[in-house]
Structure 1
Amino acid sequence: MRTFGVEEELLLVDETTGLPVAVAGRVLSHRGESPRDVSDLIEFTSELQQEMLEVVYSPHSRFADLRDELLRGRLLVDAEARAVGARAVALATSPLPVSPHATVEPRYASMHARYGITAREGLTCGFHVHVGIDSPDEGVGIIDRIRSWLPVLIALSANSPFSNGEDTGYASYRSSAWTRWPTAGPTEVFGSAERYRQHADELLATGVLLDEGMLYFDARLSRDHPTVEIRVSDVCLLAEDAAVLAALIRALVETAARDWSAGVPPLAVSAMALRLASWQAALRGLAGELPDPIGGGSVPARDRVESLLEHVGVALEDAGDADVVTCGVRRMLDSGTGADWQRAEHARTGSLADVVRSAIAVTAGTPVP
Structure 2
Amino acid sequence: MAHNTAAKNALLVLEDGRTFRGESFGAEGETFGEAVFNTGMTGYQETLTDPSYHRQVVVMTAPHVGNTGINDEDPESRRIWVAGYVVRDPARVPSSWRSRRTLDDELREQGVVGISGVDTRALTRHLRDRGAMRVGISTTETDAEALLERVRASAEMSGLELADEVTTPEAYVVPAQGRKRFTVAALDLGIKSMTPYRMAERGIEVHVLPATSTIDDVLAVQPDGLFYSNGPGDPAATTQQIEVLQGALEREVPYFGICFGNQLFGRALGFGTYKLKYGHRGINQPVMDRTTGKVEVTAHNHGFAVDAPLEGSTTTPYGEASVSHVCLNDDVVEGLELRAPASEGGALKSFSVQYHPEAAAGPHDAAYLFDRFVTLMNDRKGA
Instruction: With the length of structure 1 as denominator, give the TM-score of the two structures.
Output: 0.25
Which structure has more relative contact order (CA 8 Å, sep 6+)? It is: 1
Q: Which structure features the higher share of helix residues?
A: 1
Q: Which has the larger radius of gyration?
A: 2
- TM-score in terms of structure 2 length: 0.25
Structure with more of its chain in strand, by fraction: 2
